[in-house]
Amino acid sequence: MSKLLLNKAFSEHTIEDISSMEMPSISSILFKGKEGCICIEIAQDKSSKRLYSNFYIGTDWLSKNEVAVYVAPKMNDETQQTDYLKMLFSCLRHSDVVNYTKNLYEIKFEEPSIEIDQKQDLLTPLLVVQFLQVVKSIVRKGLKKSYYKVERNLNARIKGKVLVPQTLKQNIIKNKPTKTFCQYDEFGFNCIENRILKRTLAFIEKYLSLFPDYSKLALPVINYCLPAFQEVDENIDLKTLKGITHNSFYKEYKEALYISSLILKRFGYNIKEIEALNNKIVKVPPFWIDMPKLFELYVLGMLKDKYFNNIKFQIQGTYGQPDFILVSDNEKMIIDTKYKRKYQQEKYQVEDIRQLSGYARDTKVLSRFGYITPEEQNKVLDCLIIYPDQTASDKLADDLKENPISGFTRFYKIAIKLPVISD
């Protein structure tokens, strides 16, 4: 059995001394291989070797099949855990937010699985929640209809293609000369895409039956979705997933089928594998979840609740993308999220002030506010930083400008409490 290093990540960059451990000279693990997106970093000098965690949670191999590392959310403490599922549920109530979740996580199916405690499996519940919210959006819009192949043993008639081997075996040999096995197309809800979604819902129902805590969040969505699949069966050859073409009118299907493939692959396409989750130890592929991205989406959901379509997400500037801009008749503001505990003790971090100041002077960004002429672009825009703090309110303040950052013109910050699971 491999050794698992547990890293609770209480601080911004938790440090673990691993000098006594023998492992390859790995320097870092990058999120999706992107430069600068460091999940784990190992620094070594003459006297010690230390492991630094960053803003990603999950588990991965430091030494394949020998030493793995597990990183929990940074906002956890000894009595509370960050309820990242509630964060995801909260933001995915807005159907368009689903489009921004593709880069939320990385799963390394090609790597050997890692044994962890079932409660440390952050990946499976996240996929379940994301899938259910996408399917809910599909059901609300209406399931697609399309042509699909069926095989029937017809009496005294022929339709489509005659299946000679089946006709000989089932009819001619058994002295049923009036019957013919045929394959033909039908049009309806029982298409391959809907069957895959229903099959995945069956996996999820089985999974949720083992974990009541997750069921409280997800079962209402399942009960909403399942009646729409009444005319759909779940018998499907899962290999057909690769051959599906996507209709742009039903764009949610592409995302739903992608997540479906991840869930089914997670359980080896075998529903009996879910029964093994009753054990305290489970096997998961190495994975990472981008917590700053999840916090960003959580805040996006809150801002949409308050300001609706006046909130624009990640518009393209000349040299970057602010997280949000608020554009209304009464308010114009650049808003950025910072998943940093330092703001609980410090008034500001100068690199963040510089970043938002740059956005406030970016001509492309200013044009989204309707500031086109040189006179308009000389206006000073309001800038807001939103950060997590478990001592704050779990709701956005009515006045986003109630907490100015001293020393800077029209700069503000607001703390948001993240949902927690009490232990």
Instruction: Give the CA diameter of the chain.
Output: 94
- Report the pLDDT value the prediction gives residue 9, as an integer from 0 to 100: 42
- Report the pLDDT value the prediction gives residue 84, as an integer from 0 to 100: 84
Cβ(314)–Cβ(351) under 8 Å?
no
Cβ(75)–Cβ(388) under 8 Å?
yes
Supply angle C-alpha 131, 132, 136, rounded to 5. Answer: 120
- Report the pLDDT value the prediction gives residue 276, as an integer from 0 to 100: 62
Of 381, 384, 393, nearest to 337 by C-alpha is: 384
Q: Which residue has the tokens 């020998």?
A: 66
Hey, what are 200's tokens?
A: 């995945």
Residues of the chain with CATH 3.40.1350: 291-422
Of 220, 221, 383, 388, nearest to 295 by C-alpha is: 388
Hey, what are 362's tokens?
A: 């970016």
Residues of the chain with pLDDT under 50: 1, 8-11
Phi, psi of 181 (to 5 degrees): -80, 125
291-422: in CATH 3.40.109: no
CA distance 190 to 194: 6
Of 143, 145, 126, nearest to 135 by C-alpha is: 143
Task: Give Cβ neighbours of residue 98 (< 8 Å, ≥ 6 apart).
Answer: 92, 130, 133, 134, 137, 252, 255
Counting DSSP H helices and E strands in the chain, the numbers are: 10, 21
- Report the pLDDT value the prediction gives residue 149, as an integer from 0 to 100: 87
| Strand 146-155 to 114-117 pairing | unpaired
Helix residue spans in 6-142 (DSSP H): 84-92, 123-141
- Report the pLDDT value the prediction gives residue 176, as an integer from 0 to 100: 92
- Report the pLDDT value the prediction gives residue 6, as an integer from 0 to 100: 60
**Which pTM does this prediction carry?**
0.82
Q: Which amino acid is at 402?
A: E
- Report the pLDDT value the prediction gives residue 144, as an integer from 0 to 100: 92
Per-residue pLDDT reduced to its tens digit, 380-402: 899 999 999 988 999 998 899 99
Q: Which residue has the tokens 């089932």?
A: 170
Per-residue pLDDT reduced to its tens digit, 71-118: 887 766 666 778 888 888 888 888 888 888 888 999 999 999 998 887
Task: Give Cβ neighbours of residue 88 (< 8 Å, ≥ 6 apart).
Answer: 126, 129, 130, 294, 297, 298
- Report the pLDDT value the prediction gives residue 124, as an integer from 0 to 100: 87
- Report the pLDDT value the prediction gives residue 345, as an integer from 0 to 100: 80
Of 335, 352, 354, nearest to 416 by C-alpha is: 335
For 148, 158, 282, the CA distances from 155, given in Å and listed in that order, are: 21, 8, 51
CB < 8 Å & 24+ apart, contacts of 160-165: 160/184, 160/185
- Report the pLDDT value the prediction gives residue 206, as an integer from 0 to 100: 86
Of 246, 249, 268, nearest to 258 by C-alpha is: 246
